[in-house]
Amino acid sequence: MRSRAARLGVLFSVPLSAAVAGVLLLSGCGIRATTVPVDVGAAPSRVSCDTPSQSGQTSVQGIRATVELVCGSQLVGVERVVPAPEKRPSKDPLVLVAQGLLESLEREPSAEERDSGFTSVVPRDLSAVPSRAGDPAGTLRLSRKPEDLQPVALAQVVCTLAGSEAVSAGPGPVILGGPDTDPPRKWECTDAMRARPESVATLGEIVRG
């Protein structure tokens, strides 16, 4: 009659001596076998996030401005040509410049930008609309409530507008509102927002006129 150990070796089609040797080898290396998944962190990013060069002539007439795109889960400023705002006396210059910046954020990244890992999540239907009576100075209203945007998209908009001298007079909060009568709110482009745009608080602090 075969021993119990011999029968186990036949059952698993693995020589018992080899199985024992494997266990001893692991024990000798100080490695304990486990079925619990081990978190070794996220895989390293392979994107370069190198900002594309803007040398050479361009067929687009406008001004050069820095817009914030997403690369490697953070915001990186990329220089783009923003179409010059059309001169209309009845339109607020702030709205015109902001509209150009929004359209640049909504634009599909170029092949060079994509190769470097750049993307944008700003929705294509987002636009700038005139402020309302009683809004604080410098308020910019959007066609959608800022808090309804994805956190990363809101971070892109806030940091792009904050970096534009035509929209923001200097370092400080950006005041945004929606198309309704809700009071505008303020957001500030911080290093933390640029590093972790997905964690931005979509509901800013209310600003009264």
Domain shared by 151 and 96, yes or no: yes
Same-domain check for residues 145 and 195: yes
Do 69 and 123 have their domain in common? Answer: yes
Number of domains in the chain: 2
Q: In the chain, where do the E strands start and end? A: 62-71, 74-83, 128-129, 140-142, 174-177, 185-187, 205-206
- Residues 18, 104, single domain; the answer is no
For residue range 86-105, what is the model confidence (pLDDT) as tens digits? 655 457 888 988 999 999 99
Residue 89 and residue 175 share a domain: yes
pTM above 0.85, yes or no: no
Residue 36 within any structural domain of the chain: no
60 lies in some domain: no
The answer to whether position 198 is within a domain reads yes
CB 78 within 8 A of CB 66: yes
Half-sphere exposure of 158 (CA within 13 A, CB side): 33
pLDDT band at 5 (very low <50, low <70, confident <90, very high): very low
Residues sharing a CB contact under 8 Å with residue 42, sequence separation 6 or more, in sequence order: none
174 in any annotated domain:
yes
What is the C-alpha separation between 156 and 192, in angstroms, rounded?
13
Percentage of residues of the chain with pLDDT beyond 90: 51
For residues 101 and 166, state if they share a domain.
yes
Query: Are residues 23 and 118 part of one domain?
Result: no
Instruction: Give the DSSP letter of residue 45.
Output: P
Q: In this structure, is residue 38 part of a structural domain?
A: no
Write down the number of H helices and E strands in the chain: 6, 7
Same domain for 8 and 99? no
d(C-alpha 111, C-alpha 185), whole Å: 36
pLDDT band at 206 (very low <50, low <70, confident <90, very high): very high
Per-residue pLDDT tens over the stretch 60-88? 567 888 999 999 999 999 998 887 666 55
C-alpha span between 173 and 209 (Å, rounded): 15
Full residue range of the structural domain in which residue 128 is found: 65-206
Tell me the pLDDT band of 133, cut-offs 50, 70 and 90: very high
85 domain-assigned: yes
Co-location of 129 and 176 in the same domain: yes
